[in-house]
Amino acid sequence: MNFAVIGAGAVGMLTASLLKEAGCSVQLITRRPEQAEKINANGIKRDGEVHFVEASSEWDRIPPNAFILVAVKYSHLPDIIKKLKSCCLDNPLVFMQNGMMHIELIRNLPQQNIAAGIVEHGALKISETEVRHTGKGIFKFALLSGDEKRFLPLLNINGVKAEWHKDADQMLFRKVLLNTMINPLTALLSLKNGELLSNPHAYELLKNVYTELYSAFPEIETLLPFEQVTALCASTAENTSSMLADKLAGRQLEVDTILLYTIRRSPYALPILQTFYHLLKAAEKE
Full residue range of the structural domain in which residue 19 is found: 2-166
Q: Which of 139, 166, 193 is the C-terminal boundary of a domain?
A: 166
25 CB-contact burial (10 Å; exposed 0-12 / middle 13-18 / buried 19+):
middle
- Whether 285 has a pLDDT exceeding 60, the answer reads no
Determine the pLDDT at residue 94: 98
Across the range 206-227, mean pLDDT stands at 97
Q: State whether 237 and 150 are in the same domain.
A: no
- Whether 286 has a pLDDT exceeding 90, the answer reads no
Determine the pLDDT at residue 88: 81
Average pLDDT, rounded, for the chain: 95
Across the range 198-207, mean pLDDT stands at 98
- Residue-wise pLDDT for 88-112, tens only, equals 889 999 999 999 999 999 988 999 9
Across the range 19-29, mean pLDDT stands at 97
Q: State whether 6 and 128 are in the same domain.
A: yes
Q: State whether 32 and 92 are in the same domain.
A: yes
SS3 of 4, please? strand
pLDDT band at 85 (very low <50, low <70, confident <90, very high): very high
The per-residue b/e assignment along 219-236, b for 16 or more CB within 10 angstroms, e otherwise, is: ebeeebebeebbebbeeb
- Whether 243 has a pLDDT exceeding 70, the answer reads yes
Q: State whether 212 and 233 are in the same domain.
A: yes
Q: State whether 160 and 48 are in the same domain.
A: yes
Q: State whether 119 and 95 are in the same domain.
A: yes
Q: Give the residue among 163, 55, 181 at the shortest CA–CA distance from 118.
A: 163
Q: Which of 128, 148, 166 is the C-terminal boundary of a domain?
A: 166
- Whether 166 has a pLDDT exceeding 60, the answer reads yes
Across the range 188-205, mean pLDDT stands at 98
Please check whether residue 40 is in contact with residue 221, taking contact to mean a CB–CB distance below 8 angstroms.
Answer: no
> What domain count does the chain have?
2
Q: Which of 114, 134, 166 is the C-terminal boundary of a domain?
A: 166
What percent of the chain shows pLDDT beyond 70?
99
* pTM of the full structure: 0.93
Determine the pLDDT at residue 61: 85
Q: Mention every residue, 6+ apart, whose C-beta is less than 8 A from residue 201.
A: none
- The sign of the torsion formed by the CA atoms of 227, 96, 24, 154 equals positive
Cα–Cα distance list, 141 to 114, 152, 241, 278 (Å)? 10, 9, 22, 32
Q: State whether 161 and 222 are in the same domain.
A: no
Q: What's the CATH code of the domain at 186? A: 1.10.1040.10
Q: What's the CATH code of the domain at 36? A: 3.40.50.720
Q: State whether 108 and 200 are in the same domain.
A: no
Determine the pLDDT at residue 284: 79
